[in-house]
Each structure stands twice: as structure tokens, then as C-alpha cells.
Structure 1
Amino acid sequence: MGMDAKKLYDDTTFECSKLITQRYSTSFTLGIKTLDKKFHLPIYAIYGFVRYADEIVDTFHDQDKKALLADFKKDTYEAIAKGISLNPVLHAFQLIVNQYQIDLDLIEAFLKSMEMDLDFKTYNDSKYNEYIYGSAEVVGLMCLKVYVEGDQQEYLRLREPACKLGAAFQKVNFLRDIKSDYEERGRVYFPGVDFMSFDKSAKQLIEEDIQKDFDEALIGINQLPTGAKLGVKVAYLYYQKLFDKIKGLPAETITHERIRIPNARKISLLVGTYFGMKLGFS
């Protein structure tokens, strides 16, 4: 394959991951657009990989999910080792894993959490923490690997806040989706929480834990490299806004409906953050 043909193949696979991101997540797409251009394709590639693994677990109910996930896992490691895959999502992902030296143990932890979704219905503290780490914190760490562009010292310095941000996002998602997770999948992620008697005090305890994660994450966001700071700050503010909305609602409301931020509000958040940071307000 000539150099130009190889580049065409690589570029096309990145475009596939970009399309997946755009179709599946308005907020994530908006966040990526505010990153420095050099980070766009790598983050699309990470999102495409994560999204498709998630789809296996959450969507293909008429298939043998365990077998599908096992194949996806084998194909992922094979793609990384060989430096090529005919699955466009895995090809784009392996390019980024190899370029930015993303640790295989992060990928392993992520896939382990996907496997947990097939088996676990209720989580105790240790399983909950393991699941949050694998499903969300490691995704933040993969992105951090891209943002620090090979500076291992920076990576280690910002590792903990990146984990906190991933955890905060995931826990907000759990609160937002508590109804569908329980009704469609029989899952309650929060340890010791019974969906049928989910009340104000249970909700408040979860919210205090999430706010703590947000506060610790913000310290790290403010220390990110310039090209990454704005995009991550937008995602942080979007989730904080969603979280504030959930906090203002009674427990029974979130067990009966999924809470959303309208697209127009997402865009105004993006614009506000963009100009705020450009002018030095945030």
C-alpha cells in the first residue's frame, strides 16, 4: 500500500469515529470542537472505541453479548499489536494507542467494566469503585495521555484529577439514567441503594460524593495544557449544569424521567465558556 493510500485509509477510519461521536453525543462533539485541532481526531478515535464497546453491552439484546465482547476484545489487542485492523473503529483507536503510548492496562480495565455490565446487577462498594474506574476514569486517562503528548511527568501529576472528572461524569450519568438502567437492564449502580425506596436522603448522599469529585477535578482542569483546557472545561460545566438540574429535583422525579439539557442550552454554555476563557473570566 503506497503512502498516500495508507494515509487515505487512516484518515477514513478517523472520519468513521468522528461520525460515530457526532451521531451518539451532541455534548461530546461540542466539547471536542473546543479542543485544539490536533486533539480532535485522537479523541474521536477514543470515543468511537468506547462507544462501540458500550453498544455491545447495552444494545444488542438478541445477540450473544459475551461472545461479541470477547471477539471485540481479541480484535482490539490484535489491532494494537499488528498496527492495523479492517474494523475502522479499531484501526483508528490502535493508531492513537500506539502513537500516544496509551497503557494496555487502561484498555483492560475498561473492557473488564464492560464485562461486569453483563454479569452484575447490583454493586457493593468495591465492585462499584472498580466499575467506575474501568468505565469512566480510564477513559479520562486515555484522553489525558493525548493531551500531555508524551510528557509522562505531566500525566502522573494530572492523573488523579482526571480520574475524579471521569468519576463525576459517570455518577451524574447514573443519576440521570437511574430509571432506564433499572427498568431496561435491572441495574442499580449505587451501592446500598434500592430503586424502589430511593429517597431524598439517598439522593443527597450521592450528590455530596459527586460534588467532591467535581471540586477535585476542577483543580486539575485548570492545570491542563492550553489546547485541552477549554474543551475539558466545557464538558465539566455541561455536566455540572446537568448535575445542578438533577440536584434541584425531588428523588421521585429522577426515578420517573430522564433529565436532559436542551441542545440550545448546550450551545450557549459552549459559547459562554469559550468567550469567558478567551477573556480570562474562567
Structure 2
Amino acid sequence: MKKLFDDVSGACSRQLTKTYSTSFSTAVRMLAPSIRQDVYNIYGFVRLADEIVDSFLDYRQQTLLDQLRTQTYEAVSDGISLNPVLNAFQETVNRYDMPMKMIDDFLRSMETDLNKKTYDSKEEYDLYIYGSADVVGLMCLHVFVKGDAKKFDELKASAMRLGSAFQKVNFLRDFKADFELLGRVYFPGTDFETLSDLDKKNIIADIHEDLEQGFQGIKRLPIEARLGVYVAYRYYRALLGRLNRIASEDLKKRRIRVPNYSKLTLFARCYLDHKLNLI
């Protein structure tokens, strides 16, 4: 009897993903159907928390985040939630027996966004990225390896590096909006007004290293997941290339994006690489 509600819940997570991120939803569609919905379910949950801390500025954000935390724990424990997005998420968490600590770490980083605007040390920065990005990659990895603990352990480090790379690219792309709308600067020891080309060069070099380590893991992913993750990797690499080509002053003035025509070319090349076994 619950199947109809579960189907509606999954549809909510799919629509949420497609509405908020066309690029990510394209990558998800490149995953095998057997794992695609679970990734939508993870993204739906992550997006709820992101919206609370980034968008709902005129509401009681701490209260909303506390409610999300409580409702998420209850959903996983009970195997159901009247919130369709949480109902879909708990199904994925329970199907793959994901550790609750991953959810704890993610929500802890989200809460940090409510109270912290700058990061004084690399340790603080790395801890935030672990919770906000790395564990999301690990949740997805649980899905990709379908519960194979040995394969998970083999790919865990590279999945975290890929998650870190994606998050750092987001920080660089959103440098202007994060500061002007939210008062945040994530890169340690970096000041919005004084960001130099050398600062940007060092940040990009760090991201390139993460991307390279992450790519090594992509090549060892199960075939059902490889193309979808490769598409996301190539998209972020293209975005980073555009960020690399502009002056640091431009980061403070506009948001850099990959044009739609470039995305189409990129996706086609990824598919060709996949068909030719070049990944």
C-alpha cells in the first residue's frame, strides 16, 4: 500500500534535482536506471539542508535545521516520513545501510554555515568540506558499489577527493554571491577584497590535484556508475578551466558558468569516451 507514496516521494526528489541543477541532473541521467533514483534521493535531502542555510534567510533557520535533523532521524528509524523528500531519502539510507554518522557530519557542516563566515585554518576548512561534500560523495559511493564493503573501501579516498574538488569549484564560482549575500569566504586566510591572481592560482592548483585523484577512482567505478560520474567530473573540470582563465577581480564581479552549447559538446564527448572504453 505504501508503494504509491514511495513512487510520489521519488518523483519529488527527481523534480527537485532537475529544477535546482540541470547539469547535475544530466549527469544523474547517465547513471544506470538501477541506481539513478537513489542518487536523486540523496540530492533531494542535501538540497533541503542547503536551502535552509543559504536561501531561507528571512526564516528561523536554526529551528528549520533542527526540525530537519529530527525528522531525518525519525524517517530513517521508522522507515517512513510524511515529508516525501525525506521518505525517499530514508529508503536509500536503509537500502544500503548507510552509517548515520554521515548524516550527522553533513548536518553539522550545514549548521556551521549559520554561525561561521570565515575559516582561519586549513583544518577548519577541511572539516567543513568533509561534512558538506565528502560525505555526500560517500553516500553516493554506497549506492554505486551496491553495498560491496571491499569495493567501497578501495574507492573511498578518491570519492572524497572528487567531492572536495566539486565543492571547492563551487566556492570559487560563487565567490561573489557567497560574500555579498551571505557574508561567507570559505578559502582559509582569504579576504574578498584582496584576493589576488596568485591566491586564485594556488586555489586552482589544489583543486586540480583533487580532481586528478578523484579521476583515478572514476576509472575503477562499477560500469553502472562510471559514465554519470565522469560527466560530472568533466563538467567541473570545464568550469574550473573557465575560472582559471579570468582575472581574480572578475570573480568579484560575476558568476562564471559553462554555456549550454559547451555543455552539449562536453556531454557528447563523454558519451563517446564511454562507448570507446576510454574512461
TM-score (normalised: structure 2): 0.98
Q: C-alpha distance in 2, partners of 1:19/1:152? A: 31
Segments of 5+ residues of structure 1 without an aligned counterpart are none
- In structure 1, the residue matched to 2:76 is 80
Q: C-alpha distance in 1, partners of 2:20/2:159? A: 23
Partner SS, residue 246 of structure 1: helix
Partner SS, residue 187 of structure 2: coil
- In structure 2, the residue matched to 1:63 is 59
Percentage of identical aligned residues: 48
- In structure 1, the residue matched to 2:95 is 99
CA RMSD of aligned residues (A): 0.8
The yes-or-no answer on 1:281 pairing with 2:264 is no
Q: C-alpha distance in 2, partners of 1:112/1:267? A: 36
C-alpha displacement of 1:126: 1.6
- In structure 2, the residue matched to 1:251 is 248
2:158 to 157, 161, 166: 161
C-alpha displacement of 1:215: 0.7
| Superposed CA offset, 1:6-46 (max 9, x none) | 11111110000000000000111100011111111100000
C-alpha displacement of 1:85: 0.2
Q: C-alpha distance in 2, partners of 1:205/1:267? A: 30
One-letter identity of the residue aligned with 2:210? D
The yes-or-no answer on 1:236 pairing with 2:233 is yes
One-letter identity of the residue aligned with 2:33? K
One-letter identity of the residue aligned with 1:27? S
- Contact 1:26–1:263 at 8 Å: present in 2 too? no
Written as runs of structure 1 = structure 2, the 5 A alignment for 1:176-255 is 176-255=173-252
Segments of 5+ residues of structure 2 without an aligned counterpart are none
Between 264-273 and 152-161, the greater mean CA deviation after superposition: 264-273
| Superposed CA offset, 1:22-81 (max 9, x none) | 000011110001111111110000000000110000111111100000000000000000
| Superposed CA offset, 1:200-241 (max 9, x none) | 111111111111101111110000000000000000000000
Partner SS, residue 89 of structure 1: helix
- In structure 2, the residue matched to 1:123 is 119
Partner SS, residue 118 of structure 2: coil
TM-score (normalised: structure 1): 0.97
One-letter identity of the residue aligned with 1:165? L
The yes-or-no answer on 1:151 pairing with 2:122 is no
| Superposed CA offset, 1:172-201 (max 9, x none) | 000000000000000000000011100111
C-alpha displacement of 1:254: 1.1
